[in-house]
Chain A
Amino acid sequence: MDLTVVWAFIIAFAVFAYVVMDGFDLGIGILFPTFKAGRERDRAMNSIAPVWDGNETWLVLGGGGLFAAFPLAYAVILPATYPLIIAMLLGLVFRGVAFEYRWRDPGHQKFWDMAFTGGSFVAALAQGMTLGALLQGIEVVDRSYAGSWWDWLTPYTLLTGLGTVAGYALLGSTWLIWKLDGEEQAHARKLAVRAAIATIVLMGAVSLYNVTLNAEYAAHWLTAPQIYWVAPVPLVTAIIAVSMVRAITRDRNSKPFWLAIALFFLGMSGLGVTIWPYVVPPGLTIWDAAAPERSQIFMLVGVAITMPLIIGYTAWAYWVFRGKVADEGYH
């Protein structure tokens, strides 16, 4: 078994877990201004207050795991997207402290609500643009980023950035359908329909753009025999998208959220097909950037022991706070 491939899947899993779990937190932040000050905002915030910190930890695993398993990729991608990463980090600062501060200082609650939204939006946009900057290719010379200052800012990266914002808004609004009821749930449905349409349109646009980015990406999708393997991805995506929109308008619980996650899963699988076997296209494959076997094995032992535990107690924490928010009161 090739450990480098195993590690590529572990990092992909961490990124996926982050995107889905902090995605709905950030999505709620993005949608926050549309909620009524008072009960609706409080309930939306309370639905994620006990779990956001754990969700954000997957970002540290994605970054730290990349550092550990593919140090060269970490050392190239971060300088190449420097302004995006700094913007994301500062956005996450505002978003994270707003969870506490808005309750501490009722006189400035509106300000911290704005910080919550601004931070969430900037973080989501920066993450999506970083993904775009990676997919469009990063120039590497002599184990080091060799591009220029503004390589990360193109129409394509703006498209991936907006797609991520829309996708997070979709996750956030479907989460709220699950966690809220009454007129607040009805509001979440309306938001979810709009976010779903935006997400599907932008996902489609990014997918088409990807095929034009370089010949190798196109070959992954459009040549035989791969085409027989990958053709179902867009088809299944379309089916999921339709049933998700139906669920958003009807279901009272978690079904829209799970279908939104399924949509993200397919989107990420599609990205995997596109980028494989590169970790930093167009030059660095996962094998070029991989840490030595000793590092891989040492960490794999840790992952094998801790990951089931992490998933177990994370699931437990979600279970403790299950159900509609404020049905049992918050203390």
Chain B
Amino acid sequence: MFENLDALLLARIQFAFTVSFHFFFPAFSIGLASYLMVLEGLWLKTGKSVYLDLFKYWLKIFAIAFAMGVVSGIVMSYQFGTNWSVFSDKAGPVIGPLMAYEVLTAFFLEAGFLGVMLFGMNKVGKKLHFFATFMVALGTFVSAFWILSVNSWMQTPTGYEIGANGQFLPGPSWWDIVFNPSFPYRLVHTVMAAYLTTAFVVGAVGAWHLLKDRANPHARKMFSMAMWMAAIVTPAQIFAGDMHGLNTLEHQPAKVMAMEGHYQSHPEGAPLILFGIPDSEAKTVRYAIEIPKMSSLILKHDLDAPLAGLDTIPDDREPPVGMLFWSFRIMVGIGFAMLGIGLWSLWGRMRGKLYDMPWLHRAAVLMGPSGFAAVLAGWITTEVGRQPFVIYGLLRTADAASPLDAPAVAASLLAFIVVYFTVFGIGVWYVLKLMSKPPHAGEYGVKRGDVGPIRTAGITPGPTQNPGGEETLPTEAPGEKEPV
């Protein structure tokens, strides 16, 4: 299957595959943890059971998504060493500590409080349980903070020294390393992307159940909350994305040139190429639909500002244009579609018809997975855009890999592909199965085949293998009424 590929390319495919798959889960669980915290907080504040029901409904989904995120994340923490050992040796003194901080301040926090969040509602009391939920949500955010700092340092390295043995060493200030120039922008843009991803999933589930029963108060509540997020966060995200782009123009201009499809420099104002087909051989975008001078207006806030093109960059320092050109347009396109949904919902809300607009609901269902697509396209843009470097301008990807032979990497890549598609495919199926059930009053939380009423030691259970819990009944069908 992979016999014609070299070890380096295989290692790159493996990293891209495993990290893309992995990021789907945190992109969802960062937002969902915060959503759960908001739901539980509103329940504690208002005492309205609809919030508790929604909390329990989404908690079951969170448990699966989080488990998938954990197991795919551990793969990432070891893959730096297994497949990128030269990079690990050289960059370890600088980025290793940041990743250690991620483990110490985020992973333990999430994992330590997760058990109480999932199973401890009746053991610790409401307020302490809310605290546990808060800690899990905080942990997901802190985790994003550190890992995005690492990624950003690799994009815009600052605060380092080069050691005699070729290692990157920390300079006198860790602040310069952690808060490197692209980090604040990437952090804000990524965390908002995670919130939007979750909001559109929640919105789609709400809309799906509204299409079946527009009176369902639980579906109404989650749909309304999600649409507020879409309306408020999407514009903020578009603004943050624009700021991030300007930051990239300053520090990684070649990436922006490739995103824009600017093979040539434009000394008198560059056009915005909406669509077209990049041809890197001929160094031109074919069939381009352009708005004259618009790119200069967006990037320089001046119609006539000169913009350099890839002709100013040596060929061996250029990222691949075609992939960036498309991934960037997909991300931006989805962003504006999200904005459209947000505005549509505001219009409906103003008319008091938010729950009576089946076309809005259908569109929201269709947009359910859009956040994942946008997040993936965005990461492709930023990661492919820093090629051919792994530490921008300083260490080439080609010089960073482990001394492994192609068949070894091909075998592991094949194993990852098979296992990830089956295991996570099944997990996503379980999540969809949970989502297909309408949320209702008296929702169950995460039950574990409850062994029923308290039994004293030594009494053997009856003939049923899984007494009690609704989730273990084999006859269960979507929408079936559960015992309250």
Contacts and interface: CB of A to CB of B under 8 A. Distances in A.
B93 interface: yes
A321 B123 contact: yes
A60 interface: yes
Contacts of B465: 37-38
Nearest to A329: B454
A78 interface: yes
Interface string B460-476: 11000110000111101
Given A96-B67, A149-B408, A310 B108 contact: yes
A291 B103 contact: no
Contacts of A302: 97, 100-101, 104-105
Interface stretch (B40-48, B72-80, B232-240): B72-80
B292 to A, nearest CB: 50
Given A143-B165, A330-B451, A90 B101 contact: no
A236 B67 CA distance: 40
A56 B115 CA distance: 13
A182 B460 CA distance: 9
A330 B447 contact: yes
A37 B110 CA distance: 31
A64 B102 CA distance: 9
Contact of B89 (A60, A72, A97): A72
Interface stretch (B330-338, B365-373, B423-431): B423-431
Contact of A106 (B101, B408, B427, B474): B474
B448 A314 contact: no
B453 interface: yes
Nearest to B14: A86
A149 to B, nearest CB: 7
A140 to B, nearest CB: 11
B173 to A, nearest CB: 10
B1 interface: no
A303 B124 contact: no
Nearest to A299: B97
B126 to A, nearest CB: 14
A292 B167 CA distance: 10
Contacts of A68: 92, 96-97, 99-100
Interface in B64-120: 64, 67-68, 70-75, 77-78, 80-83, 85-86, 88-89, 91-94, 96-97, 99-105, 107-116, 118-120
A46 B120 CA distance: 12
Given A50-B115, A75-B88, A310-B112, A103 B471 contact: yes
A95 B415 CA distance: 16
Contacts, number: 290
Nearest to A50: B115
A103 B472 contact: yes
Contacts of A38: 461, 465-466
Contact of B108 (A57, A77, A83): A57
B232 to A, nearest CB: 32
B370 to A, nearest CB: 26
Of B74, B85, B412, chain A has the most CB atoms within 10 Å of the CB of B85
Contact of B63 (A76, A100, A182, A185): A100
Given A68-B97, A303-B104, A317-B116, A101 B92 contact: no
A179 interface: no
B427 A69 contact: no
Contacts of B85: 74-76, 78-79, 144-145
A291 B115 contact: no
A57 B111 contact: yes
B404 A79 contact: yes
Contact of A97 (B93, B104, B423, B471): B423
Of A38, A60, A314, chain B has the most CB atoms within 10 Å of the CB of A60
Nearest to B69: A96
Contacts of A64: 77, 96, 99-100, 102-103
Given A67-B80, A67-B96, A100 B113 contact: no
Nearest to A10: B100
Nearest to A147: B403
Given A64-B77, A317-B116, A298 B174 contact: yes
Contact of A54 (B77, B93, B115): B115
B257 to A, nearest CB: 34
A79 to B, nearest CB: 4
B458 interface: yes
A78 B89 CA distance: 12
Contact of B82 (A42, A72, A78): A78
B122 A331 contact: yes
Given A85-B78, A101-B427, A327-B454, A106 B473 contact: yes
Contacts of B404: 79, 82
B119 A298 contact: no
A289 to B, nearest CB: 9
B450 interface: yes
Contacts of B452: 329
Given A42-B449, A314-B108, A295 B93 contact: yes
Interface string A97-141: 101110111110000000000000000000000000000000000
Given A61-B103, A93-B75, A182 B113 contact: no
B433 interface: yes
A53 interface: yes
Interface in B209-253: none
Contacts of A85: 78, 81-82
B170 interface: yes
Given A71-B93, A75-B86, A100 B119 contact: no
Given A74-B80, A292-B167, 11 more contacts: A50-B114, A60-B73, A68-B97, A72-B89, A74-B88, A75-B88, A90-B419, A94-B419, A94-B423, A101-B427, A104-B434
24 contacts: A42-B449, A51-B115, A60-B73, A67-B88, A68-B100, A71-B88, A71-B93, A75-B88, A78-B82, A78-B85, A79-B402, A90-B416, A93-B419, A97-B67, A97-B427, A99-B67, A105-B430, A106-B471, A295-B94, A302-B105, A303-B104, A306-B104, A329-B450, A331-B447
List the 3 shortest-distance A-B pairs measured between CB atoms, nearest first: A71-B92, A50-B115, A68-B96
